[in-house]
Amino acid sequence: MAEKITGAEALIKSLIAEGVDLVFGYPGGAIIPVYDKLYDYTDQLKHILVRHEQGATHAAQGYARVTGRPGVVIVTSGPAATNVITGLSDALMDSTPLVVITGQVASSFLGSDAFQETDVVGITQPITKWAVQIRRAEDIPAAVARAFYIANTGRPGPVVLDIAKDAQVGMLEWEHKKCDFIRSYIPYPKINEQDLQTVANLINSAKRPMILSGHGVMISGAEKALAAVAEKGNIPVAATLLGLSTMPSNHPLYKGMLGMHGNIGPNINTNRSDVLIAIGMRFDDRVTGDVSKYAPQAKIIHIDIDSSEFDKNVKTDATIHGDAREVLEKLLPLINEADHSEWLETFDKCAKVEYEKVIEREVYRTDGPITMGEVVNKVSTATGDRAVLVTDVGQNQMFSSRYFRYTEPKSILTSGGLGTMGFGLPASIGAKMGAPERTVCFFTGDGGLQMTIQELGTIMEYGTEVKIILLNNNYLGNVRQWQELFFNSRFSQTPMVNPDFVAIANAYGIAAETVNSREQLDDAIARMLNHKGAYLLNVIIDYTDMIFPMTPAGAAVDNIMLNATEKYPLD
Amino acid sequence: MEKQLFTVTVFSENQVGLLNQISIIYTRRCLNIESLSVSPSSIEGIHKFTITTWSDRVTMEKVVKQIEKRIDVLKSFLYTDDEIVYQEIALYKVPTEQLLNETNLEAIIRRHNARILEITKEYTVIEKSGHSDETEALFEELKHYDIRQFVRSGRVAITKSPEEYVTMFLEEQARRAEEIN
């Protein structure tokens, strides 16, 4: 008979058995037994003490998205559990595997409004892939195994294990068996051969096909298969925000980003295409604009591992239910070689207009205040286009995702679905810890940075080498832009009085400097990248800078503003 | 789009919190559940939910997919009334004194194919099963007798299809489980 151990120790041993060596967390009353046992396992399980539980979830998201393994979070009950809600919701929207462990009051107190009791399972069920409460120590190993299996198979997502205090202190004979089957759950469906053939026929008969590459391509590691299919059929590829870096920026078939602030070519050509091949993406409204005017000429093919996405937002003509990589590999031999050079040239024409009307004046300005685009472009160049880009939310997110260039997969980390301001700083910490060999550049705004700024303390404590580029315009810039364009320049509550960010960084022992003029920028970027350790570059930005092109919310995807006064196509 | 009454059936593992997982899918889309019944199914360990809602087909097809996406749900199906045999049960509590004055009581009970479950000095309980328009019709008639309580169950339904999809699904999954082990 095996020796009995506590539920708390069983939890830690099960985490280790699942291959976890790093957790993000914050101790508290209802999780103390777990932290007490953690004290004995610090050689096998490193704990990162964040400064707020929301930060733990975003850091775990950053870690998960660069490693492809679930990020693990341990927090206490009540307020700690409610503080992880934003991260859970964000992770569900962006298909990020998380295993979040919350302490809970002892089971005899459940439902009594006990101190720091909250209905964690009830609150988190709508925003998790799975949430369960554990009230007996002996249930812990199987629940942990199940949690990891659910979080990181099929379409990944967050899972919550709410562990009552008596389950943490109760005794059990520990044995960990990995979960590889749940009868009510089919993470990887068998791919239907007929569907493959139908889709191949559609692609082979297409005159103006376009691939829409989403996050699912990255999650399934389908980047090579995607390139192979695109190259064989000479099919242009556009990426969603989370699908950026699934194809290198300099690949001749890569034609840019979709969506509200995406590139003109992919957006205009969405409505000219005759066959759209959507892979691992979900036709978010920021991508489709007005769905009733979306892709009127196109047959729509949708390849996804989550069949509930089919026909959810856009009516499809053919679907393949399955893992993106497996589908693309099976599709490759069925695709004919084709020449779509005339179609491909239409993207170049759009790109030329975009360069002349938008990019040149944004990125290569020679006078006036610094713009966001030029900072992003310079940082990308200085890293050899090889860094991991982490963004916050808002103009900084759109400028950095547009003007950063990607040469390696898994190179962008951004809050796409939920659009969580404050996501970036903790996510960049998790990203650097998950991929210590890579440079991590975090672009943020003065608004978003202050939503989770306390995580500078985490950077200080662990010496995490994150390069923070603060695009500082003393405004909530994205809302300001909408106010200027659509609300008669009534800047309601968007100007912001800011602290001395360099002094704050320095107080945390983080090197920092302010850049006021264009002439200082190159040297400052070089100093930042050459510095051993975290660095904050506070770049003072033109507050009138606006992100274009722009498809106004609710407008058709080909209704594109080039700037405040001109629209595409130009007369 | 025209609204009609849809019946959704859900087969799930018997676990705490499943009803919440299912009901929030309706809440989020502002769909009012017309009736709901939950009970163990004919298959051991598996619970069956029968949920009716006024809505349109496109919405309901999405709802069914979202329900089936929940980890502990095995299968979920969408039906219109012509695809199922369904029934509800209703109970009516009427003051006995009122009924005693009625000469037509026998006719009412017979016409509605109802039956009397209990009679005391104070009250009588009548039971009627059928479709909701039928239980409603009896309710309308008994209104004249100062009805004190009226309760109607959620719908229960059985499919007309010869295929037993849940059994087939479980057999297929059992084969998969064997392959994995």
Q: What is the largest CA-CA distance in chain B?
A: 72
List, in sequence order, the alpha helices (H) in A46-189. 53-67, 79-83, 85-93, 120-124, 140-151, 165-169
What is the reported pTM?
0.96
Q: Name the closest residue on chain A to residue B179, using Cα atoms.
A: A181
Contact B71 A125 (CB under 8 A): no
- Asked whether A331 and A351 are in contact (CB, 8 A), the reply is no
**What residues in B contact A181, CB-CB < 8 Å?**
176-177, 180-181
Helical axes A85-93 vs A53-67, angle rounded to 10°: 30
HSE-up of residue A9 (Cα within 13 Å, Cβ side): 13
Residue ending a domain, choose from B55, B79, B103: B79
pLDDT above 80 (res A10): yes
Q: How many CB atoms lie within 10 A of CB A346?
A: 17
pLDDT in tens, A232-284: 999 999 999 999 999 999 999 999 999 999 999 999 999 999 999 999 999 99
pLDDT above 80 (res A501): yes
pLDDT above 80 (res A9): yes
Nearest to residue A534, comparing CAs of A456, A472, A450?
Answer: A456
Burial environment of residue A544 by CB neighbours within 10 A (0 to 12, 13 to 18, 19 or more) = middle
- Asked whether B147 and B94 are in contact (CB, 8 A), the reply is yes
Can you spell out the DSSP letters for B126-159? EEEEE-HHHHHHHHHHHGGG---EEEEPPPEEEE
> Which residue in the set A126, A180, A184 is minimally distant from B71, CB to CB?
A184
pLDDT above 80 (res A408): yes
Classify A394 in phi/psi space as left (phi over 0), alpha (psi -120 to 50) or beta.
Answer: left
pLDDT for B144? 86
Element (H, E) at A225: helix A223-233
Radius of gyration of chain B (CA): 20
Which residues are B9's β-sheet partners? Answer: B50, B77
HSE-up of residue A64 (Cα within 13 Å, Cβ side): 32
- Asked whether B69 and B12 are in contact (CB, 8 A), the reply is no
First to last CA, chain A: 83
**B42 and B92: one domain?**
no
pLDDT for B163? 83
For residues A293 and A272, what is the distance between their CA atoms, to the nearest angstrom?
Answer: 12
> Which residue in the set A125, A132, A150 is minimally distant from B24, CB to CB?
A125
The answer as to whether B109 is a domain residue is yes
CA distances from A562 to A261, A293, A356, A570 (A): 10, 20, 10, 9
pLDDT for B100? 85
Q: Hey, is the C-beta of B176 within 8 angstroms of any chain A C-beta?
A: yes
Task: Give the B window 42-101 contacts with A, CB below 8 Å.
Answer: 61-62, 65-66, 68-69, 71-74
Which residues are B125's β-sheet partners? Answer: B93, B118
pLDDT for B181? 79
pLDDT for A1? 58
Residue ending a domain, choose from B56, B79, B102: B79
Q: State the average pLDDT over residues A393-421.
A: 97
| Cβ pairs A/B, distance under 8 A | 47
The SS3 call for residue A562 is coil
For residues A19 and A69, what is the distance between their CA atoms, to the nearest angstrom?
Answer: 9
- What CATH number is associated with residue B65? 3.30.70.260
Complex confidence, ipTM: 0.93
The answer as to whether B146 is a domain residue is yes
pLDDT in tens, A442-456: 999 999 999 999 999
Q: Hey, is the C-beta of B122 within 8 angstroms of any chain A C-beta?
A: no
First to last CA, chain B: 48
For residues A328 and A230, what is the distance between their CA atoms, to the nearest angstrom?
Answer: 10
pLDDT in tens, A91-134: 999 999 999 999 999 999 999 999 999 999 999 999 999 999 99
Q: How far is A33 from chain B (nearest CA, A)?
A: 25
**What residues in B contact A186, CB-CB < 8 Å?**
173
**What residues in B contact A179, CB-CB < 8 Å?**
none
pLDDT for A571? 60
CA distances from A150 to A133, A137, A180, A208, A404 (A): 15, 21, 9, 39, 33
For residues B118 and B129, what is the distance between their CA atoms, to the nearest angstrom?
Answer: 16
**B59 and B101: one domain?**
no
- Taking any CB pair shorter than 8 Å as contact, residues of chain A touching chain B are 121-122, 125-126, 129-133, 150, 180-186, 306-308, 310-312
Structural domains counted in chain B:
2
Task: Give the B window 143-172 contacts with A, CB below 8 Å.
Answer: 170
pLDDT in tens, A364-389: 999 999 999 999 999 999 999 999 99
Cβ-Cβ contacts under 8 Å for A88 (sequence gap 6 or more):
A57, A98, A100, A124, A127, A128, A158, A160
**Is the omega angle on the peptide bond into residue A569 within 30 degrees of 0, that is, cis?**
yes
pLDDT in tens, A314-346: 999 999 999 999 999 999 999 999 999 999 999
CATH 3.40.50.970, domain A370-544, yes or no: yes
**B92 and B73: one domain?**
no
Give the fold, CATH level 3, of A193-346: Rossmann fold (3.40.50)
Element (H, E) at A563: none
Q: How far is A194 from chain B (nearest CA, A)?
A: 20
Q: Tokens 């990944």 map to which residue? A: A156
The tokens describing A95, both together, are 């298909």
> Which residue in the set B20, B174, B177 is minimally distant from A122, CB to CB?
B20
Q: How far is A81 from chain B (nearest CA, A)?
A: 18
> Which residue in the set B62, B66, B73 is minimally distant from A184, CB to CB?
B73
- Asked whether A404 and A256 are in contact (CB, 8 A), the reply is no
The tokens describing B174, both together, are 């059992």
The answer as to whether B91 is a domain residue is yes
Contact A125 B17 (CB under 8 A): yes
Query: How far, rounded to the nearest angstrom, does the alpha carbon of residue A548 sit from its chain's CA centroid?
Result: 22
Q: Do domains A193-346 and A370-544 have the same CATH topology?
A: yes
**B56 and B23: one domain?**
yes
pLDDT for B101? 80
**B103 and B128: one domain?**
yes
The answer as to whether B66 is a domain residue is yes
**B9 and B52: one domain?**
yes
Task: From the options 3.40.220.10, 3.40.50.880, 3.40.50.970, 3.90.1010.10, give the CATH code of A4-173.
Answer: 3.40.50.970
Helical axes A477-486 vs A395-403, angle rounded to 10°: 100
**What residues in B contact A180, CB-CB < 8 Å?**
180
Q: State the average pLDDT over residues A12-25.
A: 98
The answer as to whether B22 is a domain residue is yes
For residues A491 and A481, what is the distance between their CA atoms, to the nearest angstrom?
Answer: 9
Q: How far is B43 from chain A (nearest CA, A)?
A: 14
Q: What is the largest CA-CA distance in chain A?
A: 83
Query: How far, rounded to the nearest angstrom, does the alpha carbon of residue A91 sit from its chain's CA centroid?
Result: 8
Q: State the average pLDDT over residues B104-108.
A: 85
The answer as to whether B69 is a domain residue is yes
Q: How far is A309 from chain B (nearest CA, A)?
A: 9
Q: Which domain holds residue B36?
A: 4-79
Q: How far is A125 from chain B (nearest CA, A)?
A: 6
Q: Tokens 């459940």 map to which residue? A: A110
> Which residue in the set B28, B72, B181 is minimally distant from A184, CB to CB?
B72
> Which residue in the set B24, B62, B180 is minimally distant from A312, CB to CB?
B62
The SS3 call for residue A552 is coil
Buried b / exposed e over B117-151, threshold 16 CB at 10 Å, is eeeeeebbbbebebebebbeebbebbeebebeebe
Can you spell out the DSSP letters for B21-86? HHHHHHHHTTPPEEEEEEEE-SSTTEEEEEEEEEE-HHHHHHHHHHHHHSTTEEEEEEE-GGGEEE
Confidence of residue A354 (pLDDT cuts 50, 70, 90): very high
Element (H, E) at A427: helix A424-434
- Asked whether B87 and B64 are in contact (CB, 8 A), the reply is no
Give the mean pLDDT of chain A. 97
Contact A183 B17 (CB under 8 A): no
pLDDT above 90 (res A29): yes
Confidence of residue B180 (pLDDT cuts 50, 70, 90): confident
Confidence of residue B2 (pLDDT cuts 50, 70, 90): confident
The tokens describing A556, both together, are 């058709």
| β A299-304/A4-6 pair status | unpaired
Which residues are B47's β-sheet partners? Answer: B12, B40
Contact B74 A311 (CB under 8 A): no
Residue ending a domain, choose from B17, B47, B79: B79
**What residues in B contact A185, CB-CB < 8 Å?**
71
pLDDT above 90 (res B106): no
**What residues in B contact A122, CB-CB < 8 Å?**
17, 20
For residues A53 and A57, what is the distance between their CA atoms, to the nearest angstrom?
Answer: 7
Query: How far, rounded to the nearest angstrom, does the alpha carbon of residue B31 sit from its chain's CA centroid?
Result: 17
Contact A125 B65 (CB under 8 A): no
Nearest to residue A195, comparing CAs of A187, A184, A203, A185?
Answer: A203
The tokens describing A517, both together, are 């003029």
- What CATH number is associated with residue B118? 3.30.70.1150
The SS3 call for residue A44 is coil
**What residues in B contact A187, CB-CB < 8 Å?**
none
The tokens describing B108, both together, are 């009412």
Burial environment of residue B109 by CB neighbours within 10 A (0 to 12, 13 to 18, 19 or more) = middle
pLDDT above 70 (res B30): yes
Domain segments of chain A: what residues?
Answer: 4-173, 193-346, 370-544
Query: How far, rounded to the nearest angstrom, does the alpha carbon of residue A74 sit from its chain's CA centroid?
Result: 21
pLDDT above 80 (res A469): yes
Confidence of residue A86 (pLDDT cuts 50, 70, 90): very high
Element (H, E) at B97: helix B96-100
Contact B62 A306 (CB under 8 A): no
